[in-house]
Amino acid sequence: MPDGTTGTGIGAAVKRVEDFRFLTGKGNYTDDLNRPGQSYAYILRSPHAHAKIKSIDTAAAKAAKGVLAVFTGEDMQVGSLPCGWQVHSKDGTPMHEPGHPPLAQGKVRYVGDQVAVVIADTYAQAKDAAEQINVDYEVLQSATTMDAALADKSLVHDEIGTNLCFDWEIGDESEVDAAIASAAHVTKIDLVNNRLVPNAMEPRAAVGEFDPATGEYTLYTTSQNPHVIRLLMGAFVLSIPEHKLRVVAPDVGGGFGSKIYHYAEEAIVTWAAPKVGRPIKWVAERAESFVSDAHGRDHISHAELALDKDGKFLALKVQTKANMGAYLSTFAPCVPTYLHATLLAGTYTTPVIHANVKAVFTNTVPVDAYRGAGRPEATYLIERIVDQAARETGIDKVEIRRRNFIPADAFPYQTPVALQYDSGDYEATLASATKIADVDGFAARKAEAAGRGKLRGMGFSTYLEACGIAPSAVVGSLGARAGLYESAEVRVHPTGSVTVFTGTHSHGQGHETTFAQLVSDRLGLPMENIEISHGDTNKVQFGMGTYGSRSLAVGGEALIRAVDKIIDKAKKIAAHVLEASAEDIEFKDGNFTVAGTDRSMAFGEVALTAYVPHNFPHDELEPGLDEKAFYDPANFTYPGGCHICEVEIDPDTGIVEVVNFTAVDDIGRVINPMIVEGQVHGGVAQGIGQALLEQAVYDENGQLMTGSFMDYTMPRADDLPSFNVATQSTLCAHNTLGVKGVGEVGAIGSPPAVINAVIDALWDKGVRDMSMPATPEKIWTALQAAE
């Protein structure tokens, strides 16, 4: 419920405070920064997927007008771009981890690989001069599909002797095989999870700067986690100690995962800045984003689901090939393993599960987390095979889900694939969604559509996700090379206004609003007295950043803990001034009151006392009112829910129209329902984009055929219906706010609902399968083939 005093507390649909600057064009993005004496970098990229660099002649480029410097891999001898997660193969051997130089050394491994950097007075000069660089390539055969790569005919990294990065498993295969052998029915499915290009609205950018007076480097960058970039780049690539490296991620126009990683361009501009003696700005052109931002998904899976005669799931076996691209991006190995296979129980009681994941190097752009990361892949697989099992056994698709749901009274629930879910009520989200989507009225709508010559279908997805990415001990045991806690500092100023420094980074999620709401709620302060600061390693104590829908559940909880420390100290100050004991001080609606009396002090008075300590408990307390907290949760959070999609297909053209989409999500306590709704809208739009429109396509020579918005179809407003969005929550059991994440639920839950709806619509015409993206051409072809 909205807080009684301020009306801006937990549960209030407060308008986003950051939107004023964004909507009036006053945002401050990396490309808006213009440092004194700034120069510009252009990165020359490989036109080949796989080639030896026999020589690079930079003489003409160096002599070109305005050029300050040209560097190649030979010049830039620094550390390798590191991978933050180590996976071990099932035989215990560590994954292959080939070096990843910021500028290619000896070989290029994908179209877009960085070959040289030109730095000039203007961007146009740098770009023009780059045309004069003469690279002598010996083009090699490339491995662009995973199957070609696994045949090891052409090695992406010669030194490791294979294109198999790791061969990992979870679960007991013999137990699963035995269950499958004795099952009444086994459903089998082959699935491709299409490769996606993230396409944040703001392309990546970086400005590197060096101050010779202090020896301090500054990197301004489009990042979701500036402290992580400081750590990775400082410690592993450029050997700059943290106290000499400041990383600032100012306003960032969307990331969707693609701005988590430490990219070569960040290291290049930082390393080169002292060499040219001027700040250096690099901004990606959109075409560069397509071939240099980490791509997402790209799984090929075979799955088998064993059922007993009543439709109860007995076992699930999954074999997945996951494309890593040419190099290991920062978190790539954890996506198909710990973010994918551990989720394969979904919302169901499947007692035994085995998954095998083969991660494969190919001559393509590195692949890493993209909104959902591993969990959309798992959800797509589970919800597709469950629907197929329903059709094969003749059990209704809703009924089969109900029969297998983890019951609401079974929490905490230990799955066979490591995770322990803390709370959920899948029957409740299903019931609510079924009602909102008017499932009962579907048959009539289908008949009416048929009268208009349209094929109408309805698809379900009763998904689960694991997010709020944390427990450091757990992720550490799973291969993370970092802890995944979060930190917050609450600085109360002498007049009682508050600045919060959070280690999370907001790039569209609205933390400046929701985090201020948390403080407003707890301290009874108006929103305008609270400022949320993030994204600058020189201001914020530390932070692991924003991804895995962790900011509220981990960062928000850290913030609450710091606020509670403020209240504790403030009570002691108030007790001293009011001549009472701290235990007798009550804090409510922004006032400290001696219980049972009318003696009280406002929050602002206590703050002033802390900084003007004329009457202060010096023996017990230090002056000032500024507290920090680090929070490392006990578990992930487990949002879940039900998405129902209704489509109409024109059989003459194959065009799919999403006519209705219902999302009922359990995200724990809701801090801001308007922001939550926006998060679900965005995620569902991306999920529908994956299901119907988007796919990164490479040709056999490793050229990206979908390298622009002319070929890569992003969803637009007129591709989407008005969504029906609701929440139906159970509280998270292990954080005090009771919150679960919401940032990815839309992208995770929706794709299988869409494809299940498409198959449902086409079923009577004899079509039995459909892959993503379900383009008009694919649908039309399938309809012709089925006739």
Residues at the site binding ligand MCN, with contacts judged by CB under 6 A: 200, 254-257, 371, 507-511, 514, 546-553, 667-672, 675-676, 679, 682, 739-744
Give min distance, CB of 370 to ligand MCN, in A. 7
* Closer of 363 and 672 to ligand MCN (Cβ): 672
Residues in contact with 70: Cβ distance below 8 Å, sequence separation at least 6, in sequence order: 58, 61, 62, 116, 117, 118, 119, 129, 133
Burial class (CB in 10 A: 0-12, 13-18, 19+), 622: exposed
Angle at 237 between CA 234 and CA 240, to 5 degrees: 30
* Closer of 553 and 610 to ligand MCN (Cβ): 553
Give min distance, CB of 684 to ligand MCN, in A. 12
Give min distance, CB of 549 to ligand MCN, in A. 4
Question: How many H-runs (helices) and E-runs (strands) does the chain carry?
Answer: 19, 28
* Closer of 324 and 671 to ligand MCN (Cβ): 671
Give min distance, CB of 263 to ligand MCN, in A. 16
Q: Strand ranges (DSSP E) for 634-739? A: 640-649, 656-666, 724-727
Angle at 195 between CA 696 and CA 535, to 5 degrees: 100
- Please list the alpha-helical segments (H only) found in 693-763: 745-763
* Closer of 230 and 371 to ligand MCN (Cβ): 371
Pair of tokens at residue 423: 């709370």
Could you give the 3-state DSSP secondary structure of residue 18?
coil
In the bound state, the residue with its beta carbon closest to ligand MCN is 508
Give min distance, CB of 16 to ligand MCN, in A. 9
- Among residues 751, 768, 775, the alpha carbon closest in space to that of 188 is found at 768
Prior bond of 715 cis (ω within 30°): no
* Closer of 496 and 738 to ligand MCN (Cβ): 738
Give min distance, CB of 114 to ligand MCN, in A. 24
Give min distance, CB of 515 to ligand MCN, in A. 7
* Closer of 546 and 690 to ligand MCN (Cβ): 546
* Closer of 551 and 635 to ligand MCN (Cβ): 551
Give min distance, CB of 399 to ligand MCN, in A. 30
Give min distance, CB of 1 to ligand MCN, in A. 14
* Closer of 548 and 751 to ligand MCN (Cβ): 548
Query: How far apart are the C-alpha atoms of 202 and 207, rounded to whole Å?
Result: 15
Prior bond of 773 cis (ω within 30°): yes
DSSP 8-class letter at 347: T
* Closer of 517 and 593 to ligand MCN (Cβ): 517
* Closer of 248 and 518 to ligand MCN (Cβ): 518
Concatenated DSSP letters of 243-288: GGEEEE--B----TTTTSSPPHHHHHHHHHHHHHTS-EEEE--HHH
Query: How far apart are the C-alpha atoms of 400 and 152, rounded to whole Å?
Result: 42
> Distance between alpha carbon 112 and the CA centroid of its chain, in Å?
23
Give min distance, CB of 665 to ligand MCN, in A. 9
